[in-house]
Amino acid sequence: MRSNGLSTINKQIALKYEISKIDTLQYIISAVYQLKLICLRHPMTETKLKIALRRYSSPYKHSQNDISFNCLFQNINVLNRRRVSDINNKTSQKNSFNTRQSSKDTSMEVDNPLNKHHFLLQCIIGVGGFGKVWKVSYKQQVFAMKEISKALVLLKQSVQSIMSELQFLTELRHNFLINAFSAFQDNNNLYLVLDYLGGGDLRFHLGKLRKFTEEQTKFFAACIIVGLEYLHENNIIHRDIKPENLILDSQGYVRITDLGVAIKKTGQNFETSGTPGYMAPEVIFRQDHGAAVDFFALGVICYEFMTGRRPYYGNRREIREQILAKQVQIQTSTEGWSNESIDFINLLLQRKPQNRLINPRQHKWFKNFPFELLLQKKLKAPFIPKTADNFDQSQIYYEDEENNQIIRLHQHLIRENQHLFQGYSYQENQSQFRIKSKKSSVNNTKIFQFY
With a CB cutoff of 8 Å and minimum separation 6, the contacts of 362 are none
CA–CA distance, 278 with 293 (Å, rounded to integer): 9
Residues 78-129 pLDDT 10s: 434 444 444 444 444 444 444 344 334 444 444 678 899 999 999 999 998 9
3-class DSSP state for residue 375?
Answer: helix
E-strand ranges in 101-170 read 107-112, 120-128, 131-138, 141-149
Give Rg (Cα) of the chain: 28
CA–CA distance, 227 with 245 (Å, rounded to integer): 12
Q: Which residues are annotated as a binding site for ATP?
A: 146
Spatial CA neighbour of 119 closest among 71, 178, 167, 50: 50
Say whether pLDDT at 48 is over 70.
Answer: no
394: pLDDT confidence band, cut at 50, 70 and 90? confident
Say whether pLDDT at 199 is over 50.
Answer: yes
Active-site residue flag, 343: no
pLDDT, residue 117, reads 93
3-class DSSP state for residue 22?
Answer: coil
By the 8 A CB rule, do 327 and 317 touch? no
Kindly state the helix (H) or strand (E) to which residue 223 belongs, with its residue range: helix 214-233
Catalytic member of 240, 249, 258, 294 = 240
Estimate to the nearest angstrom the gap between the alpha carbon of 370 and the chain centroid: 30
pLDDT, residue 435, reads 61
Burial 152-190 (b: 16+ CB within 10 A, else e): bbbbeebeebbbbbbebbeebebbbbbebbbbbbeeebb
Distances (CA, A) of 354 to 226, 291, 327, 350, 371: 21, 11, 14, 9, 26
376: pLDDT confidence band, cut at 50, 70 and 90? very high
CA–CA distance, 205 with 249 (Å, rounded to integer): 13
The mean pLDDT value for 14-31 works out to: 44
Q: Which range is least confidently modeled, 69-78, 276-285, 334-343?
A: 69-78
Phi, psi of 180 (to 5 degrees): -100, 145
Looking only at the bridges linking them, the beta strands covering 246-248 and 180-185 are unpaired
45-55 and 25-32 helices cross at what angle (nearest 10)?
Answer: 150
pLDDT, residue 64, reads 41
Say whether pLDDT at 449 is over 50.
Answer: no
Spatial CA neighbour of 130 closest among 400, 440, 419: 400
417: pLDDT confidence band, cut at 50, 70 and 90? very high
Residue with the bigger pLDDT between 366 and 8: it is 366
Q: Which residues are annotated as a binding site?
A: 146
The mean pLDDT value for 216-245 works out to: 97
Residue ranges in 234-328 assigned as alpha helix (H): 281-284, 292-307, 316-325
pLDDT, residue 437, reads 53
Residue with the bigger pLDDT between 426 and 57: it is 426
pLDDT, residue 448, reads 33
By the 8 A CB rule, do 203 and 243 touch? yes
Amino acid identity, position 445:
T
Average pLDDT, the chain: 79
pLDDT, residue 269, reads 85
3-class DSSP state for residue 195?
Answer: strand
Rounded to two decimals, the pTM is 0.72
By the 8 A CB rule, do 262 and 160 touch? no
In which region does residue 199 sit, left (phi positive, over 0), alpha (psi from -120 to 50) or beta (all else)? alpha
With a CB cutoff of 8 Å and minimum separation 6, the contacts of 401 are none
Domains contained in the chain, CATH given = 8-113+434-448 (no CATH), 117-197+392-427 (3.30.200.20), 202-375 (1.10.510.10)
